[in-house]
Chain A
Amino acid sequence: MPEVTLVEAINLALARAMEDDPNVVVFGEDVGVNGGVFRATIGLQQRFGPERVFDTPLAELLISGLCVGMAAQGLKPVGEIQFMGFIYPCIDQLVNHASRLRNRTQGRLSCPMVLRSPYGSGIRAPEHHSESTEAMLAHIPGLRVVIPSSPERAYGLLLAAIRDPDPVVFLEPTRIYRAAKGEVEDNGEALPLDVAFVLREGRDVTLISWGAMVKETLAAAETLAAEGISAEVIDLATLKPYDEDTLLGSVAKTGRCVIVHEAARTGGFGAEIAALIAERGLTSLLAPVARVTGYDTVMPLPRLEQHYMPSVGRIATAGRKACRFS
């Protein structure tokens, strides 16, 4: 099997989806001739033509709104927002339309669309290019929010998102676009949505993360293993709706839980998971649930971004502390 980067896996999945389904259309800013600023859509316009792969005017609200109209008409739109920092004009369309079209028409119309966007910090990008505001999106009923953390999951989850009959926001961690490499067989097989992936089994503590932070979380598990602490690592993958059973099952086994995310702490998705465990997993807890997250500050510019992001050290410390608690 060939080894590809995460962004190459995205490209493979887009090409596969377009090959399989003539209704799939791909559009956004610079996705056509230029192949996307990260090259996620490279070669697609040459292969599938300018009607199915096209550059939009510089208008993010439009991109999300077009998705709704196209999806209601039976196309399978895959819109790209160039960076998550520019996704906010789409919130109106996501909250008021995409996520509720099926419900407000009681199934008469539906909205099978995908809105892709690179997100997260760690690439020394200019202001507004590094935030992780996934919890904001995961709060919206009727939407799916999916985040891959490896080339394999990027490929399988994106195919699943495109084939899904409901709207999906698909967030791609820029920091591991090229840093993450893995074997991907371009076989058109999707991975399940709404399912968390256990990446490493362990007995003593559950480490839950998603996106680029999975890398540091796995490294922290390695550090802990050297100290005799067996950490289970879970990639949440779908934040909305999320796989409660896998998380609760793991915490029932380990009795300890550390949630890791790049986003600011207050109201971050870690708070949701902590609440779930408090509600339904309390009796199995041997230590308080811990969160290792970005700070409740504005995302700093590149000179300080390393200090903002959870490090392997911070994650390992939280795991150690949980194990020492009892």
Chain B
Amino acid sequence: MTERWHPDERLPVIARFEVRRRAYLAPDGSINRQLLAFASDTRLLVRLYRAMVLVRAFDMKAVALQRTGRLGTYAASLGQEAVSVGTASAMRNEDVLLPSYRDNAALIWRGVKLEEILLFWGGDERGNCFSGPVQDFPFCIPVGSQAPHAAGVAYAFKARKEPRVAVCLFGDGATSKGDLWEAMNFAGVHKLPVVFVATNNQWAISVPLRLQTASETLAQKAIAAGFIGEQVDGNDVVAMHAAAKDAIEAARNYQGPRFIEAVTYRLGDHTTADDAARYRSTTEVQARWKEEPIARLRSFLAGQVWSKTDEEQLSAECQQHIDAAVERYLVVKPRAPETMFDHLYAELPRAYAAQRRELEGND
């Protein structure tokens, strides 16, 4: 076994570090710690609940569209909805989100339309020209490569002395990449207003966390960069929201960057192109279903403000909302082929005008 503590106790200790863990709502919906004040605001909790239910239904629909040839490859967030929703709900409009490809719940919370998300995964760049948070970054597919952008965005905020925060979402796989480290290290040096949120869903496609790192937590990776890393029960949306709120507000006050490790589980396949049964057992997945975020919040709310009728009504509303979005998505015609040149540069260079004409003529 790898030694964790230096065997020579005569050497003086010059630094000690700690990682704290946050969890409020247990899988059965019971409170396992005194809830923060905001959590007694059931209106907020209901909003968080509705957002998670919507994205789960939306994901199911998106996967169905893919299976029937009406959508491209799609990455559902089944099981980890609380991370995206908890984080996005703690942001202000003027903050900037830098999401990874599985963070559709965060985009939806921030006002991106469902049909815009479908349009992107349906193979059309216009899906990224979304409404709502116009300064937010689009989904990042090369893992972790958006982390340096988050540092750059935060540097711009700092240069202009703005009380805004860059919030970067990524997965456990990204914590193995230099991109993330370089960004965190720089953010620490300059005390940038940026929050890094690792969605630790245990799997990077087929590679389990134990092959990703020997680190006891991902949260402790922040320690080396000189700021606070916290581990959160990522299936507890109350804890996620509270942790994100604390981190984002600290960053906004220029108290330094923060890192959140949200421990959750990817209940579905990596994408519609993946078959998770090839690399993990159904027993493992079934056990994890007991911890998923939606049921526990429903149990908690059911005791107070949430009735069966509310649930049925929400379900119908989501369906309606999604069906209408799908309809709007399906009628979008592909753009004219030659428009692939139109946003290459601010102005199309002379050298490529002929290529554009060629494409226009051939179609």
B-binding residues in A (CB < 8 A): 25, 51-52, 56-57, 59, 61-62, 64-75, 77, 89, 92-93, 96-97, 102-110, 141-142, 165-166, 194, 241-245
- Asked if B315 lies at the interface with its beta carbon under 8 angstroms from chain A, I say no
- Asked if B321 lies at the interface with its beta carbon under 8 angstroms from chain A, I say no
Kindly list the 10 A-B residue pairs having the minimum CB-CB distance in the complex, ordered from nearest: A69-B152, A65-B148, A73-B156, A69-B149, A62-B182, A106-B129, A241-B351, A165-B346, A241-B349, A66-B152
* Contact with B156, one of A65, A70, A108 (Cβ below 8 angstroms): A70
8 Å CB interface, B49-103 against A: 96, 98
The stretch from B130-138, B204-212, B214-222 touching chain A is B130-138
**With known contacts A92-B145, A96-B145, A103–B125 Cβ distance under 8 A:** yes
* Contact with A70, one of B126, B129, B152 (Cβ below 8 angstroms): B152
- Asked if B147 lies at the interface with its beta carbon under 8 angstroms from chain A, I say yes
A61 touches B351 (CB 8 A): no
B182 touches A102 (CB 8 A): no
Residues of B within 8 A of A165 (CB): 345-346
| A-B contact list, 13 entries, CB within 8 Å | A25-B159, A51-B159, A62-B186, A65-B179, A69-B98, A70-B156, A72-B153, A102-B346, A103-B340, A103-B344, A108-B130, A166-B346, A241-B352
Residues of A within 8 A of B179 (CB): 61, 65, 92
8 Å CB interface, B132-163 against A: 134-135, 137-138, 142, 145, 147-159
A166 touches B129 (CB 8 A): no
Nearest residue (CB) in A for B147 is A65
Q: Which of A52, A61, A77 has the most CB of B within 10 A?
A: A61
- Asked if B343 lies at the interface with its beta carbon under 8 angstroms from chain A, I say yes
Q: Which of A67, A69, A241, A243 has the most CB of B within 10 A?
A: A69
B148 touches A70 (CB 8 A): no
Residues of A within 8 A of B147 (CB): 65
Q: How far is the CA of A75 from the CA of B125 in the complex (A)?
A: 24
Q: Which of A62, A241, A244 has the most CB of B within 10 A?
A: A62
Q: Which of B151, B155, B157, B179 has the most CB of A within 10 A?
A: B155
- Asked if B183 lies at the interface with its beta carbon under 8 angstroms from chain A, I say yes
B178 touches A61 (CB 8 A): yes
Q: How far is the CA of A110 from the CA of B151 in the complex (A)?
A: 17
Nearest residue (CB) in A for B178 is A61
Q: How far is the CA of A66 from the CA of B155 in the complex (A)?
A: 8
Minimum Cβ distance to chain B for residue A203 (Å): 26
B185 touches A57 (CB 8 A): yes
B150 touches A107 (CB 8 A): no
| Chain B residues with a Cβ closer than 8 Å to the other chain, count | 43
Residues of A within 8 A of B189 (CB): 57
A57 touches B344 (CB 8 A): no
Minimum Cβ distance to chain A for residue B179 (Å): 6
- Asked if B202 lies at the interface with its beta carbon under 8 angstroms from chain A, I say no
Residues of B within 8 A of A89 (CB): 178
Contact string, B167-199, partner A, CB cutoff 8 A, digits 1/0? 000000000001100110110010000000000
B129 touches A194 (CB 8 A): no
A-B contact count (CB 8 A): 135
* Contact with A62, one of B128, B151, B352 (Cβ below 8 angstroms): B151
A77 touches B345 (CB 8 A): no
Residues of A within 8 A of B6 (CB): none
B145 touches A97 (CB 8 A): yes
Residues of B within 8 A of A74 (CB): 156
Residues of B within 8 A of A64 (CB): 148
Residues of B within 8 A of A141 (CB): 344
B125 touches A105 (CB 8 A): yes
Q: How far is the CA of A44 from the CA of B80 in the complex (A)?
A: 47
Minimum Cβ distance to chain A for residue B49 (Å): 31
A241 touches B186 (CB 8 A): no
Q: How far is the CA of A165 from the CA of B344 in the complex (A)?
A: 11
Minimum Cβ distance to chain B for residue A140 (Å): 11
New contact pairs (8) apart from A106-B126, A165-B345, CB-CB < 8 Å: A25-B159, A69-B150, A70-B152, A75-B155, A92-B179, A96-B145, A102-B346, A104-B125
B149 touches A97 (CB 8 A): yes
A68 touches B149 (CB 8 A): yes
Minimum Cβ distance to chain B for residue A171 (Å): 18
Q: How far is the CA of A25 from the CA of B134 in the complex (A)?
A: 23
Residues of A within 8 A of B166 (CB): 69
* Contact with A194, one of B142, B185, B351 (Cβ below 8 angstroms): B351
* Contact with A109, one of B137, B340, B345, B346 (Cβ below 8 angstroms): B137
B152 touches A65 (CB 8 A): yes
Q: How far is the CA of A105 from the CA of B137 in the complex (A)?
A: 9
* Contact with A69, one of B155, B344, B349, B350 (Cβ below 8 angstroms): B155
Q: How far is the CA of A107 from the CA of B128 in the complex (A)?
A: 9
B351 touches A72 (CB 8 A): no
Q: How far is the CA of A75 from the CA of B152 in the complex (A)?
A: 9
Minimum Cβ distance to chain B for residue A231 (Å): 25
Q: Which of A66, A72, A97, A194 has the most CB of B within 10 A?
A: A66
Minimum Cβ distance to chain B for residue A115 (Å): 13
Q: How far is the CA of A38 from the CA of B345 in the complex (A)?
A: 31
Q: How far is the CA of A132 from the CA of B345 in the complex (A)?
A: 25
B125 touches A77 (CB 8 A): no
Residues of A within 8 A of B352 (CB): 241
Minimum Cβ distance to chain B for residue A29 (Å): 12
**With known contacts A62-B148, A142-B344, A241-B351, A69–B153 Cβ distance under 8 A:** yes
Residues of A within 8 A of B129 (CB): 105-108
Residues of B within 8 A of A67 (CB): 152
Residues of A within 8 A of B154 (CB): 69
Q: How far is the CA of A165 from the CA of B346 in the complex (A)?
A: 6
Residues of B within 8 A of A96 (CB): 142, 145
Minimum Cβ distance to chain A for residue B161 (Å): 10
A106 touches B159 (CB 8 A): no
Residues of A within 8 A of B148 (CB): 61-62, 64-66, 68-69, 93
B344 touches A104 (CB 8 A): no
Residues of A within 8 A of B340 (CB): 103
A245 touches B149 (CB 8 A): no
Residues of A within 8 A of B344 (CB): 102-103, 141-142
Q: How far is the CA of A66 from the CA of B128 in the complex (A)?
A: 21
A108 touches B134 (CB 8 A): yes
A242 touches B351 (CB 8 A): yes
Residues of B within 8 A of A103 (CB): 125, 340, 343-344
